Amino acid sequence: MQLAYEEGGEIRAATVLSTSGSGDTESWLATSLSGKQLKLKAKEVWLRFEQPSAQLAIDQASALAQEIDLQLLWDCAPINEFSFIDLALEYFGNSIEAVQKIALAIALQGAPIYFRRKGRGRFMRAPLEQLQAGLAAVERKNTELAQQERWTDELVEGVCPETLRSQAKNLLFAPDKNSLAYKAVMAACTIAGVTPAQLLLRCGAVESPLQFHQGMFLHHHFPHGTAHPIVHGIEANTLQTALANLPVSTVQAFSIDDASTTEIDDAFSVSAIPAGGYRIGVHIAAPALAIQKDDVFDQIARTRMSTVYFPGDKITMLPPALIQQFSLDAGSLRPTVSLYVEVDTEGQLTAVSPRSVIELVPIAANLRLEDLENNLTAEGLEENRAVDDPSIALPFQMELGVLWRTAKLFHAQRQTQRLANGLRAEQLGPAEPGALARDFLFEIKDKSGIEQIVIIPRQRGAVLDTVVAEWMIYCNSTWGRLIAEQGLPGLFRTQKGWGPLRTRMQTTPAPHEGLGLDYYAWCTSPLRRYTDLVNQWQLLAIIRHGVTAKMVAPFPPRDANLMGIAADFEASYQAYGEYQDRLEKYWCLRWLLQNSLPTAITVRHLKEGMARAELIPLHLPIPELASHARMTRAMIEVSEVDLLQLTASTRVKEIETLVDLVTLATPEINDNTPNS
């Protein structure tokens, strides 16, 4: 005897081995079509039959079920609940066999739009309205599947349907995985053996790998675009009120930046003191005088947290119009928070305490590194005098000499503390010839519609770099100490211990071991970093109110909002840095392509098979170098570049054993460039 039964929503058949019980308690030991033995109870069995065999019955019934007209079956079915055998008699006639009964059971079980299941072998036909709605849904689904298949075919052929072209960014960066478009793209990717980005790039929906890298970053961090919601700066009346009664300084200040800097937020002044020595001023742009906590400009700055730098462009934290109002541009009179110190003729700080002042400062000049650094040497600044011949004198040469002498002393003091912290001393001045350059200037030029990439290395530690870095470090340290001693919270940059959280932002002071400082708070770039703007608010409260600053400071002690700002800044600053690294790698690979492939370049092994090119900041995995010493040089051939995956195919041509001991000694600390 054979049995038809339901398992997992499907009608199956089995051959009986033995029977026990009777009536409602009857049960059978049977063998399924897969050969598995199972025990079936009467309530689980739909039909008992002798012929044909279980396998043949299922095969024939499945084929016959495909031929059953479901609409006719629905028309034949009674309005009330019915048994599948009763409907089989109505549909096939009285002379029906087991195969026809099983076929009808399979058809009913597989047509939930037409029939509702009411129990073992019993059904009820769906109401007409629900049937029509269900059929319409099926038709719609079939139409969608046909559309999906057409899209998939076009994508595989390298053609992007216009409907998908407009959805390209969402498909790549925020796909709706239930949408037809996404399913079509993924199906095409499976057939073509590529990623969605590769597929849409090949189809022209993504114009270039650069657009993909930029689009991914902008989608996650600037979903509403990079344009500022407000294009104007501070209103004239508001600005005039904010700057009213500020004293005008008698100094002539000058800034030192590269040519691409438009947010000039620091400058210097050097004035001779009648009794001997000099008064040095570090002047920091003061947008915090006019930007109020929680106003619209604060909200913009807090949303962005920092200016985003990358080769060829940048995304500013503040609106350009506001930057122009506070940037320390030559020929302007700008509000600043100034730090004044006095030094003797040898550059040593005198006993006079540093003095912080809010004032208006005339900006005499914007010195550019590109114009000076090739003609300016440490030896040329050693003497405390102006050059007699104006034709060979550099701008502010005497002032730069004063700043340089004190900067050297600052550097030496920090190295003493670094050694006490168990770290190596940093070298003063440029690295020795042959050391890997660590700073680069990317120039992307358009020549007759073709982009030309120029990558210019700059050795860190040049005279002007040292002057700016050491004085900014001193300023950040002094103001960090001032905020801490007044008992106010601030955003302190700390570095202590080891591990991934070694360097971080926090609201309470702690040492920065890498810089050799007990206090360090970013304060010198308020036009570019939100941390500096926040700290400037705290400084303004201290300068204006002294010991009562806690009562009026925007962020009082234990302010939970400030802790949130520190965490948000860390996350944004890391993401922006990763984006800058990503685009630098992209342009480095473009630079290789520009020089045509295959091309040979020299690399230095760093660690664990990762190497860096000598001429450009391109890191590449070179497994053959994994067993060699750090700084081992190798000549490799780059034969292929993937601008989407940011990878390159390489082959080692020659490995040298030369080790650059100077570069080996380069410290791992990279947190001493507060102006970058």
Mean predicted confidence (pLDDT) in 513-532: 94
Q: By mean pLDDT, which of 279-288, 429-438, 551-560, 565-574 is the weakest?
A: 429-438
Q: Are residues 53 and 181 in the same domain?
A: no
Q: Are residues 160 and 184 in the same domain?
A: yes
Write the burial class of residue 131 (CB in 10 Å: 0-12 exposed, 13-18 middle, 19+ buried). middle
pLDDT of 591 over the 60 cut: yes
pLDDT at 499: 62
pLDDT of 374 over the 80 cut: no
The whole-angstrom distance between residue 77's C-alpha and the CA centroid of its chain comes to 62
The whole-angstrom distance between residue 163's C-alpha and the CA centroid of its chain comes to 28
Mean predicted confidence (pLDDT) in 491-516: 85
Q: With pLDDT > 90 as the criterion, what percentage of the chain qualifies?
A: 54
Q: Are residues 95 and 154 in the same domain?
A: no
Q: With pLDDT > 70 as the criterion, what percentage of the chain qualifies?
A: 93
Q: Are residues 135 and 68 in the same domain?
A: no
pLDDT digits (tens, 9 = 90+) for 453-469: 888 887 667 788 889 99
Q: Are residues 188 and 327 in the same domain?
A: no
Amino acid 508 reads: T
What are the φ/ψ torsions at residue 530 (nearest 5 degrees)? -70, -30
Pairwise pLDDT comparison (285 vs 378), residue with the higher score: 285
Helix, strand or coil for residue 616? coil
Domain encompassing residue 648:
592-664
Of 202-206, 331-335, 595-599, give the range with the top mean pLDDT.
331-335
* Nearest-angstrom CA–CA distance, 402 and 270: 8
pLDDT of 670 over the 70 cut: no
Asked whether residue 140 is domain-assigned, the answer is: yes
Pair 594, 624: CB distance under 8 Å: no
Which among 511, 542, 573 is the end of a domain?
A: 573
Residue 348: count other Cβ atoms within 10 Å of its Cβ: 12
Mean predicted confidence (pLDDT) in 243-250: 94
pLDDT of 392 over the 70 cut: no
Sorting pLDDT into bands at 50, 70 and 90, what band is 478?
Answer: very high
Q: Are residues 44 and 61 in the same domain?
A: yes
pLDDT of 240 over the 80 cut: yes
Q: Are residues 350 and 252 in the same domain?
A: yes
Pairwise pLDDT comparison (674 vs 322), residue with the higher score: 322
| Averaged confidence pLDDT in the chain | 88
Asked whether residue 584 is domain-assigned, the answer is: no
* Nearest-angstrom CA–CA distance, 482 and 504: 20
Q: Are residues 61 and 34 in the same domain?
A: yes
Residue 392: count other Cβ atoms within 10 Å of its Cβ: 9
pLDDT at 326: 96
Mean predicted confidence (pLDDT) in 39-68: 90
Asked whether residue 499 is domain-assigned, the answer is: yes
pLDDT at 565: 94
Pairwise pLDDT comparison (293 vs 378), residue with the higher score: 293
Asked whether residue 326 is domain-assigned, the answer is: yes
Mean predicted confidence (pLDDT) in 473-498: 92
Q: Are residues 371 and 433 in the same domain?
A: yes
Token representation of residue 162: 């216009």
Asked whether residue 212 is domain-assigned, the answer is: no
pLDDT at 577: 94
Q: By mean pLDDT, which of 145-149, 527-531, 582-586 is the weakest?
A: 145-149
pLDDT of 582 over the 70 cut: yes
Scanning the structure block, which residue is given the tokens 């600390």? 669
Pairwise pLDDT comparison (83 vs 663), residue with the higher score: 83
Q: Are residues 101 and 137 in the same domain?
A: no
Strand pairing class (647-655; 115-119): unpaired
pLDDT of 258 over the 90 cut: no
pLDDT of 387 over the 60 cut: no
pLDDT at 429: 72
Asked whether residue 585 is domain-assigned, the answer is: no
> What's the full length of the chain, in residues?
676
Write the burial class of residue 474 (CB in 10 Å: 0-12 exposed, 13-18 middle, 19+ buried). buried
Sorting pLDDT into bands at 50, 70 and 90, what band is 657?
Answer: low
pLDDT of 204 over the 70 cut: yes
pLDDT of 316 over the 90 cut: yes
Scanning the structure block, which residue is given the tokens 């005499």? 364
Q: Are residues 371 and 280 in the same domain?
A: yes
pLDDT at 375: 73
Number of domains in the chain: 4
pLDDT at 281: 96
pLDDT at 357: 96
pLDDT at 452: 87
Mean predicted confidence (pLDDT) in 408-422: 91
What are the φ/ψ torsions at residue 442 (nearest 5 degrees)? -100, 125
The whole-angstrom distance between residue 122's C-alpha and the CA centroid of its chain comes to 59
State how far the alpha carbon of 490 is from the alpha carbons of 104, 253, 496, 507, in Å. Answer: 78, 28, 18, 5
pLDDT at 659: 45
Of 15-24, 37-46, 84-93, 353-362, give the range with the top mean pLDDT.
353-362
pLDDT of 658 over the 60 cut: no
pLDDT at 266: 95
Q: By mean pLDDT, which of 284-288, 304-308, 382-386 is the weakest?
A: 382-386
Q: By mean pLDDT, which of 21-25, 50-54, 490-494 is the weakest?
A: 21-25
Pairwise pLDDT comparison (118 vs 282), residue with the higher score: 282
pLDDT of 411 over the 80 cut: yes
Mean predicted confidence (pLDDT) in 563-569: 93
Asked whether residue 583 is domain-assigned, the answer is: no
Q: Are residues 377 and 495 in the same domain?
A: yes
* Nearest-angstrom CA–CA distance, 39 and 53: 19
Which among 102, 126, 150 is the end of a domain?
A: 126
Pairwise pLDDT comparison (46 vs 23), residue with the higher score: 46
pLDDT at 430: 66
Mean predicted confidence (pLDDT) in 519-528: 95
* Nearest-angstrom CA–CA distance, 237 and 521: 32
Which among 542, 573, 604 is the end of a domain?
A: 573
Amino acid 469 reads: A
* Nearest-angstrom CA–CA distance, 125 and 113: 9
Asked whether residue 580 is domain-assigned, the answer is: no
Mean predicted confidence (pLDDT) in 415-443: 82
DSSP state of 275: T
